[in-house]
Structure 1
Amino acid sequence: MNTISTVLTEMKEVFTKVNDKEYRQLIDLFKKDIRFFFTGEGRSGLIAKVIAMRLMHSGKTVFVIGETTTPAITERDALIVLSGSGKTANTLNVLESASKVGAQIFMITTNTEVLAQYNGLYIPAATKYRLPNEPETIQPLGNQFDQAAHLILDAAIIDSLDSLQTNDILKNKHSNLE
């Protein structure tokens, strides 16, 4: 139980440092009636898929980059990018391609230099690189960033829902082919 307690304490510290204005921008983005595209590599990519699925449950049109049924992104769409480091090569290539067509980009990262170029949300969490500005953690690799991104993005979706979107309504959008 000591490890669980430590992880919870660490995560609470990360959450209390999330910028409210950036968080509110994410909520406002999720409220829009547009198509959403998600991308990320490794575990960040898995979190991107989790959040894409959750946003789809809320009634949005959602795609995951790299899936065979993902259409072309346009200037009317939003690209949500998860990258702890903000410098993963494939992720940067996707960002560049989406920028060229004028898609709205929202970056979730620990990299403030990338956020200077793109709209997004800074998560003050540790990555596998353990840079000097990252918090201390007992968690290995990028666990802290991945967990924080999952919970923060999930909370933003909850905050973007209107009061008519009850659990039963969301459940009706859940896969029934399981």
Structure 2
Amino acid sequence: MKTIQTIVDEMKKVLSEVHSQQYHQLVELLQQDRRFFFTGEGRSGFIMKAVAMRMMHAEKRVYVVGETITPAIRTGDALIVLSGSGTTSLSVHSATQASNSGATVFLVTADEDVLGTAPFLQGLVLPAATKSKKHAHRKTIQPLGNQFDQAAHLLLDAAIIDAIEGTSYDSLKDNHANLE
């Protein structure tokens, strides 16, 4: 139980340090009527699939980068990128392509130095430990990038809840998979 409490305390600390303006920009983006594309590598990619699924439940048009049914991104679309370092190759490539296509790119990262540079002109800093030694100063009992992954999942779920405020449980449930 001590480990669980320590992890919960870590999540409270990390999430309490998120800049409210950046968080509200994300919520406002998710509220918009546009197509949303989600990407991340490794565990960040798994988290983004869960985020895309939740947005689909809220009747948003969503796609996951790399899936065979993902169409071309265009002007007016939004790409949400999850990358602890903000420098992973697929994430940077996808963001550059999206930006060149006229889409909005929004990065969720642990590295504040990446924000404000092309293609990541908009985003949110999630001050959590990643597998990178650069972020080793963030105190955690968790291995590798677990703290970043968990905080990202909680943060993105909260942003979706805020973005879809007023959506009924029944309408979300109506869009839940029924072929399982």
Letter in 2 for 1:173: N
The question of whether the paired residues in 1 share the 8 Å contact of 2:38 and 2:63 is answered with yes
Q: Distance in 2 between matches of 1:73 and 1:137?
A: 37
**What is the count of residue pairs matched by the alignment?**
177
Measured on the aligned residues, the alpha-carbon RMSD in Å equals 1.1
The Cα of 1:134 is off from its aligned counterpart by: 4.1
Return the offset for 1:130: 3.2
Answer yes or no: is the 8 Å Cα contact 1:77–1:104 preserved in 2.
yes
Q: Does the 8 A contact of 2:108 with 2:124 survive in 1?
A: yes
Q: Which runs of 5+ in 1 are unaligned?
A: none
| Aligned counterpart in structure 1 of residue 147 of structure 2, from 141, 144, 148 | 144
TM-score by length of 1: 0.96
Aligned-residue offset at 1:91: 1.1
What SS class does the counterpart of residue 107 from structure 1 fall into? strand
Deviation at 1:132, TM superposition (A): 5.0
Amino acid in the other structure paired with 2:90: N
For residues 162 and 76 of structure 1, what CA distance do their matches in structure 2 show? 23
Shift of 1:19: 0.5
In the alignment, which residue of structure 1 is the partner of 2:51?
51
1:10 aligns with 2:43: no
Deviation (angstroms), 1:75: 1.0
Counting only pairs closer than 5 Å after superposition, residues 112-123 of structure 1 correspond to structure 2 as: 112-117=112-117, 118-123=121-126
Query: Tell me, which stretches of 5 or more residues in structure 2 are unaligned?
Result: none
Cα shift readout 1:136-159 (whole Å, capped 9, x = no counterpart)? 100001101110110111001100
The percent of aligned pairs where both chains have the same amino acid is 55
Measure, in 2, the Cα distance between the counterparts of 1:33 and 1:144.
31
